[in-house]
Amino acid sequence: MTKRDTTREWELLFKAQGDEFDIDEFTKLLDEYTVEFPPEHVIQSTIENCIVHVPQYASESSKLKRMFHTLSLQVEYVSKWFWLFSLLLFVSGYVATVFDSISPYKTVLVLSPMPFILGVLEILRSTDSGMAEMELASKMSLPQIMMARFVLIGSYNVVLNAIISFGLYWTFWIDLWKVLLFWVVPFTWISSIMLFLASRFRGRRLVPIAVSVWGALVIGILSNPKTLPYLLSLNDTLFVLFGVVGFALLWMQSIQLRNRAERGIFVEIAD
Amino acid sequence: MQSDEELIAEIRRGSRSAMEVLIRRYYKLVFGIIYRKTGDYHVACDLTQEVFIKVAKSVSSYKGEGKFKSWLTSVTYHHCADHFRSATHARKKNEIEIRPEIADESMNVYRLLERNDERRAIRNALMELPDYQRDTIVLSYFEGMKIREIAEIMQCTESTVKSRLYQGLGKLRKLVKGGDGYDKERHNS
């Protein structure tokens, strides 16, 4: 039952401590603790109960169907207030830009990471009874649920940013490429920072704190009248570089999130 | 014989027969770990099934880094830890798990009772240890895993594993010797 090389490992421990005792007698005693394995019919029953859970993937198209089904399921479980509030935020931003003569670049900069900041708690919502039921009903594991929500909320953020960018472009005939770069960089960086913070710090206070900090930061930066012209004068290559780095950080954080979920380490969001 | 990785690849393609082969290959490993960790035969049967269900559902998350056996042991260990953390779990410390043995002419009743006493003594002594020490002993002594592998599974340093192993075996030795002495005294009276 014991392997000689690992028996030597714990023997060496005792020897290193100067602890002398009859190892053969001790091992002979421990080896009495045999395992009475179940009979064949129990093992067969286990097999029958397990093999039904082997995923059946017929083809690539059914994989895609399954993915869409997974995502559509998550839409229902993410809070409706998140979808609505994020949309209202962007609509308000567009209206304010049109009627209050706010710079469209400022608008996209400020709004770009907001849905993700608001939605990060939805991604990490704990394994309360609702989550466990969903896991049983949809046969999805916790990591799959979390990654599906991450994709959903991230994609929603991207879609809202894209829509407001095109809307402002058609309204003001501004540089579309510049507008896109203006939201990609803060979106990727702030999203990866939020994932990092949310997976390590508990509590619902994280979101209002993050919103306040982001708001204070952009107000502080943009209150200087020279800041925006300076940012607009920067080379596009720099934006692209920052965007790529931001995307890499976001990718790394999402992988870490999935790995932590797979190991059973996830944040219990406390009130 | 197909390797574990070949079986995993087939399971990912939906092969149920490959899953059956894998379960038969590792059933004793998983059951043995859980049985020695919980000391309860029926709990071990249930948890073993749950572990393999988990494996069937999440086989795609096995990346092929390291041996499959280590990954499976890690899943088993963490699943048991979740079980012990659950609010409804209640340990039966003084119960003995004896399977009805088929009568064998080479074994008489007294020998069976003697074996049960020894197994009970070691089982009870193991259950007296803190979870982390018992887990280390089960994985190292009874399952033959290396300290490095145990450290990865338990997500701690190798020196922590060594410390737990040393202290756990030391305590176990004292408990078993004390219990063994008590039982021998009872037999001789």
Per-domain boundaries in chain A: 78-262
Read off the amino acid at residue A247. Answer: F
The answer to whether residue B71 is domain-embedded is yes
Of B85, B117, B133, which residue sits at a domain end? Answer: B85
The answer to whether residue B93 is domain-embedded is no
* Helices first, then strands: H and E counts in chain B: 8, 0
3-state secondary structure of B133: helix
Which positions in chain A touch B59 (Cβ < 8 Å)? 54-55
Of B85, B118, B142, which residue sits at a domain end? Answer: B85
The answer to whether residue B80 is domain-embedded is yes
A95 vs A149 pLDDT, higher one: A95
Label residue A129 by pLDDT band (50, 70, 90). very low
Q: Say how many domains are in chain B.
A: 2
B88-105 confidence digits (pLDDT tens): 555 554 444 444 444 444
Closest-CA residue of B relative to A36 is: B99
Of B52, B85, B118, which residue sits at a domain end? Answer: B85
Residue B143 pLDDT greater than 70, yes or no = yes
B51 vs A77 pLDDT, higher one: B51
User: Could you give the percent of chain A with pLDDT greater than 70?
Assistant: 80
pLDDT value of residue A270: 39
How far is it, in rounded angstroms, from Cα B112 to Cα B133? 29
Closest-CA residue of B relative to A55 is: B14
Q: Locate B128 and state its tokens.
A: 């007296």
Residue B182 pLDDT greater than 50, yes or no = no
C-alpha angle A251-A217-A242 in degrees, rounded to nearest 5: 35
Partner-chain residue, chosen from B53, B176, B180, that has the shortest CB–CB distance to A50: B53
Residue A160 pLDDT greater than 60, yes or no = yes
User: Could you give the percent of chain B with pLDDT greater than 90?
Assistant: 32
pLDDT value of residue B2: 78
A236-262 confidence digits (pLDDT tens): 899 999 999 999 999 998 888 777 766
Regarding whether B166 and B120 lie in a shared domain, the answer is: yes
B103 vs B21 pLDDT, higher one: B21
How far is it, in rounded angstroms, from Cα A129 to Cα B149? 34
CA distance B109 to chain A (A): 17
A22-42 confidence digits (pLDDT tens): 777 888 888 888 888 999 999
Residue B175 structural domain: 109-188
Regarding whether B113 and B78 lie in a shared domain, the answer is: no
Regarding whether B8 and B80 lie in a shared domain, the answer is: yes
Partner-chain residue, chosen from A42, A51, A58, that has the shortest CB–CB distance to B16: A51
Q: Distance from CA of residue A102 to its chain's centroid?
A: 33
| CATH number of the domain that residue B81 is part of | 1.10.1740.10
pLDDT value of residue A10: 79
The helix (H) or strand (E) run that includes residue A11 is helix A4-16
Q: How far apart are the first and last CA of chain B?
A: 55
pLDDT value of residue A55: 81
The answer to whether residue B117 is domain-embedded is yes
Average pLDDT, chain B: 79
Specify whether the CB–CB gap between B2 and B16 falls below 8 A: no
B168 vs A265 pLDDT, higher one: B168
Label residue A111 by pLDDT band (50, 70, 90). very high
Q: Does B36 touch chain A (CB under 8 A)?
A: yes
pTM here is 0.50
